[in-house]
Chains A and B, each alone.
Chain A
Amino acid sequence: MRTLRIILLLAGTQLRIILRNRATAVFLIIPGIILYSIFTSIFAGSAGRPFRVAVVDQDNTPASKKLIEMLRANKVKVVLHEKEDPKRPLLTEESARASILHEGLFRVVLVIPKGYAESPNMLSPNPHQGIDLIYDESQTWEAEIVTGMVQMAAGRALFEQMGGMLGSGPARRSDQTTQRGTEQTDPEKGPAQRLIQVHSAGVIKSGMPNAAKNIFLAAIVPMFIMFGAAGAARSMLEAIRRGEIRRLLAAPIGAFHIVTGQLVACVTLALIQCYAMYLYAWLVFDVGIWHITGGLFVLTLATCLAATALGMLMASLCRTAEQLDSLGPVVILAMSALGGSMVPRFVMPVFMQKLGLFTINGWAYDGFMALIRREGFWGIFMPLLVLTTTAGVLIAISSAIFARRLASKPASG
């Protein structure tokens, strides 16, 4: 009980000292917001390549399966949602489809309706329904690419269906009406432009690519916390150098209290900064945070603990603030690059993705994305476990190093 009281006393005093200066309080919040906005804007165009396409196969026939197979052959990363999940009816309802696009989980959703096999393309004798394509309006070019790929896939499917033999050309019909739209073809003008009728519907964008705004929140937060932790660690080294903690050492407390008190103060500040970023992202870019409140808090807390503990460890290994200034950025940037804070993890080669799991950023990123994909507690369990265990180990090591160093530091007189 006394240990907890002393730790909270040290942490509370530290926080009071920092936040008493209004300029400091402002500087704590603003950089994260600026960083998030910059990164998301810069990397928005490239985030998420190669894009993932969600496909709902309501027809579930060899013809629909063939189309999907041909899409895959065209290097489209197809994610099937064939079965309806009562807990998460992602794609059977229009609103759910729009929701996953809004959350940035997919750029494009294709729906192959029931009855597709009866008329898989415009050359079929029966009325052709076409397929539905729902896309993120902020990335219209991706919808166009997927439309093109669908045509190519349909063409290959038709080619194989015909035994690989070239025919006399597509059959023409004087008029063709579909259930959802109308495409008129004039027999005088030549063959139909498309094999498959694609009905497109755009999701109203929020002003920023949906994938980017979510991905980069997951990416920026760990990196930002780590830089903040390095700064706090630097302050601690300076305090040791100036002799400010000598009185603490003479008091009936130990190095563990001092280090942990500093840690609690840093984690509290980091949480404030993170939530400032989350609120900003929600208010300005409509990032959904309120449906994942509990999971977001525990994951943020675990990330803050691990990142701050890493800062403490670096401080304990460095003798001077200048050494930390050299080591800190290298470690943080390397971890951030490997862990997905600069480029999303899923665009990296597999071995790099695995390497990223040796970083705090990597686990935090995976945890955040699991939250966004609504994978529930078990989706974030491993990231939570790894992050908190990492924090515990790093705190123990840095406490031991500090205790040893403080007990052996020679005096000046």
Chain B
Amino acid sequence: MAVLEVRNLRKSYDRVPAVDGISFSIEEGEVFGLLGPNGAGKSTTIDIIATILKQDTGESIIRGSLSSRSKPYKYRIGYVPQELSLNDRLTAAENLTFVGKLYDLSRDELKRRVPETIDAVGLSDRAHDKVGTFSGGMKRRLNIGCAIVHHPDVVLMDEPTAGVDPHARAYIFEIVERLSAQRKAILYTTHYMEEAQRLCSRTAIIDRGNIVAVGTLNELIELVRAKREVILEADHLAPEAIGRLAAGLGNVPFRIESDRARLTLQNGGHGIVDVITKAHELGIPIRGASITEPNLETVFLELTGHALRD
């Protein structure tokens, strides 16, 4: 049975749909990605599941029985907001204690859970320091800690690495992987393809309030029969020459961008060596060549018609 099941969520603002019939489910221990650009509806979806926003229709259910309309539902959800929701003048331990009390943790439970959580997010040596003295990465980690102090079944993470450096981001990835190992169901929203590829066992691609595809990375790539792209660099690229090259490779699609030519190759077809050889035969003076393997960004582009970062 899925830990979290989301059914047909809809939410509109002034008749403009922000979330338009979104459904998915997350299993125990799964990190489920919601990948899309800004304004796609990721945060709105997560806010509805977290019961911060009220949906127009649809519902989310935990373990098949706890509806989002029921009071116990909120106790089973942990929410990591995109904004840092911490009190800067309190210490890390005090922040966790405050949140724990909101979830009715007893004194004994808090005594156990607060140090455990601080350990889990790697802030043991700063437990009694005020959050105002923390770096951005440390605050992000504590932000996650506040979502898990009460041992939820489901953790909702809304772009938890926003604004952090690569080192801090790597640490957060480790935390997410540990939470997954603890059998928590994790919903992870991001607009970074690399994060989704690294962390998520399954990813839903969301655009304009709709989920356009769901699956593992390989499934998504296969879904759109995503193609490889060879990029040729030269000082002067004549369109006619590149056209002859593309025709020679089987009439592959191409486009020219100033000093670069991009040729899209089918999976299992010609490789980069073939392209370079053919270009040389045609006398095209290339100075560099590279190949990009299909990824989520490619998938996104194929499915939605625009880039992830548009």
Contacts and interface: CB of A to CB of B under 8 A. Distances in A.
Contact of A17 (B18, B85, B89): B89
B82 A244 contact: no
B90 to A, nearest CB: 7
B82 to A, nearest CB: 7
B44 A411 contact: yes
Nearest to B73: A252
Contacts of B83: 242-244, 246
B44 A413 contact: yes
Contacts of B99: 247, 251
A410 B102 contact: no
Contacts of B53: 407-411
Contact of A413 (B43, B51, B54, B85): B43
A248 interface: yes
Given A17-B89, A243-B82, A413 B103 contact: no
Contacts of A17: 87, 89-90
Interface string A385-413: 00000000000000000000011111111
A412 B79 contact: no
A252 B52 contact: no
B38 A413 contact: yes
A3 to B, nearest CB: 12
| A interface, over-half SS | helix
Contacts of A248: 85, 102
Contacts of B46: 411
A20 B47 CA distance: 32
A253 interface: yes
A413 B189 contact: yes
A355 interface: no
Contacts of A246: 47, 52, 79, 81, 83, 85
Given A6-B102, A249-B52, A251-B102, A410 B18 contact: yes
B185 to A, nearest CB: 16
Nearest to B158: A413
A243 B18 contact: no
A23 to B, nearest CB: 12
Contacts of B98: 9, 13
B39 A244 contact: no
Interface in A1-40: 2, 6, 9, 13, 16-17, 20-21
A400 to B, nearest CB: 14
Nearest to B86: A244
Contacts of A406: 52
Contacts of A243: 81-85
Given A9-B98, A13-B98, A410-B44, A247 B104 contact: no
B102 A252 contact: yes
Contacts of B50: 249-250
Nearest to B147: A247
B12 to A, nearest CB: 10
Nearest to A247: B85
Contacts of A284: none
A250 B104 CA distance: 14
Contact of B52 (A6, A9, A244, A250): A250
A13 B88 CA distance: 12
A244 B89 CA distance: 13
Contacts of B71: 252
B38 A412 contact: yes
A412 B75 contact: no
B101 interface: yes
Given A9-B102, A16-B90, A247-B146, A252 B75 contact: yes
26 contacts: A16-B90, A20-B89, A243-B82, A244-B83, A244-B86, A245-B85, A246-B47, A246-B52, A246-B81, A247-B81, A249-B50, A250-B50, A250-B74, A250-B79, A250-B81, A251-B103, A252-B102, A252-B103, A252-B104, A253-B102, A408-B53, A408-B54, A409-B53, A411-B43, A411-B44, A413-B43
Given A244-B83, A250-B81, A252-B71, 19 more contacts: A13-B98, A21-B89, A244-B84, A244-B86, A244-B87, A246-B47, A246-B85, A247-B147, A250-B156, A252-B104, A406-B52, A407-B53, A407-B54, A408-B54, A411-B53, A413-B38, A413-B40, A413-B158, A413-B159
Query: Which 3 pairs across A and B sit closest by C-beta, in order of nearness?
Result: A243-B83, A413-B43, A411-B43
